[in-house]
Amino acid sequence: MKFTVSSSALLSLLATTGKVINSKNTLPILDYFLMELKDGELKVTTSDLETTLVGTLKVDNVEKEGMVAAPAKLMLDVLKECSEMPLVLEVNDANWEIKITWRSGGSSVPGANPISYPTIQSISEEKTEVTLDVDTLVNGINKTIFATADDELRPVMNGVYFNLDNSGITCVATDAHKLVKFTTEIEGGAVASFILPKKPANLLKAMLLKEDGEIKMSFDKNNAMFTLQHSTLICRLIEGNYPNYNAVIPAANPNKMLIDRIELVNGIKRVAVCANPTTNLIRMDIADNKITLTAQDLDFYVSANECLSCSYEGEPIKIGFKSTFLVEILSNIETPTVLVELADSSRAGVFKPVYDDKQSSSTLMLLMPMMINA
């Protein structure tokens, strides 16, 4: 195996695929890149047994094709110190030594036999295939992933739920305290659903920022595959039935508040400094087109309050929320104005972005309240 490649292009490919590698792997070979050179294209594969990422790169001056397992950390450390320049990579098939040479020098890295690298998960013939616009997939993951849980007892909540039907695609995430539902229209959608784990969802989110055009998504009962321009992500799906999220979304909250999102976020952050660090409770008193934010920590005799203007329709209401969750939800809404729909102090609050024109997608965020002293 011998070829010439741009140092920065190779570093970019290895850095992207290397994000799959865990800090602690059960199999030593998973600390390696599987590199395969064929038909003038270098294919790099990484895996943690649950998620596999395959990236490709066109290379120059191919003298000999082949395969090798290259140590991930060493390869990245060497390439990070190389400015943009052509590199020659040559693999000794007898001892798997990888020689990297450049104009003024070179280095030698111990590789390994690629035969022990695990095989890539396959998608069955009974698969569902959908072609999605990049923005649709990016928005679906971006708007929901922050609300996923880290719950060993309920693994189905540790990912983003995708539900496809004839009208479009719905992405949902919840950790039982907050819930996000993002719905967008797509043409000719299949009727199917799956739960995408958090790790591949985050990987996909980062990779999609460099893509344009359309993404091919294929999945069966066990695995999903996302085909991008120069890479393919294959991952094991979370098994189980997702909770009935529509059952917890209030059908009609009569009290509605329109407020400047940035003002509200900043007000919450200022007041939250004096909140009890255990509960992070912020109390909202809403009436007469004003919202008063209050927080206190009785143990240290500190308190804070702030009054903000809003547009409010409904009965006066007092409700408490965890400040960190409030900031998280409001920070993941992109519009200057937010609509907050409330029923009473014991039922969930609904947060929605307010757009100036009609959108082909909709976002709904829900937050469960905390008990407050009257």
Instruction: Please say whether the beta carbons of 230 and 207 come within 8 A.
Output: no
What CATH code is assigned to 249-367?
3.10.150.10
| Better-scored residue on pLDDT, 196 or 187 | 196
Does residue 122 carry a pLDDT above 60? yes
In the chain, pLDDT over 70 holds for what percent of residues?
99
Predicted pLDDT at 342: 96
Predicted pLDDT at 172: 97
Q: Which two tokens stand for residue 12?
A: 């970019």
Instruction: Please say whether the beta carbons of 308 and 263 come within 8 A.
Output: yes
Does residue 348 carry a pLDDT above 70? yes
Instruction: Please say whether the beta carbons of 346 and 367 come within 8 A.
Output: no
Q: How confident is the model at residue 188 (pLDDT cuts 50, 70, 90)?
A: low
Among 180, 339, 331, CA closest to 259: 339
In whole angstroms, what is the distance from residue 117 CA to residue 101 CA?
A: 26
What CATH code is assigned to 128-246?
3.10.150.10
User: Residues 147-165: pLDDT tens digits?
Assistant: 999 999 999 999 999 999 8
Does residue 191 carry a pLDDT above 80? yes
Averaged pLDDT score across all residues of the chain: 94
User: Residues 298-341: pLDDT tens digits?
Assistant: 888 899 999 999 999 999 999 999 999 999 999 999 999 999 99
Does residue 189 carry a pLDDT above 80? no
User: Residues 252-272: pLDDT tens digits?
Assistant: 899 999 999 999 999 999 999
Does residue 187 carry a pLDDT above 80? no
The stretch 15-38 carries a mean pLDDT of 95
Give 192's strand partners: 164
Instruction: Please say whether the beta carbons of 217 and 130 come within 8 A.
Output: yes
The stretch 335-349 carries a mean pLDDT of 95
For the entire predicted model, the pTM comes to 0.91
> In the chain, which segments carry CATH 3.10.150.10?
2-116, 128-246, 249-367
Cβ count within 10 A of residue 164: 20
Buried b (16+ CB within 10 A) or exposed e, 199-225: bbbebbbebbeebeeebebbbbeebbb
Among 175, 178, 143, CA closest to 162: 143
CATH of 2-116, one of 3.10.150.10, 3.50.50.60, 3.40.250.10, 2.130.10.30: 3.10.150.10
Predicted pLDDT at 190: 78
Q: How confident is the model at residue 86 (pLDDT cuts 50, 70, 90)?
A: very high
Q: How confident is the model at residue 126 (pLDDT cuts 50, 70, 90)?
A: confident
The stretch 126-130 carries a mean pLDDT of 89
Does residue 374 carry a pLDDT above 60? no
Cβ count within 10 A of residue 273: 11
Predicted pLDDT at 299: 84
Predicted pLDDT at 185: 86
The stretch 168-189 carries a mean pLDDT of 90
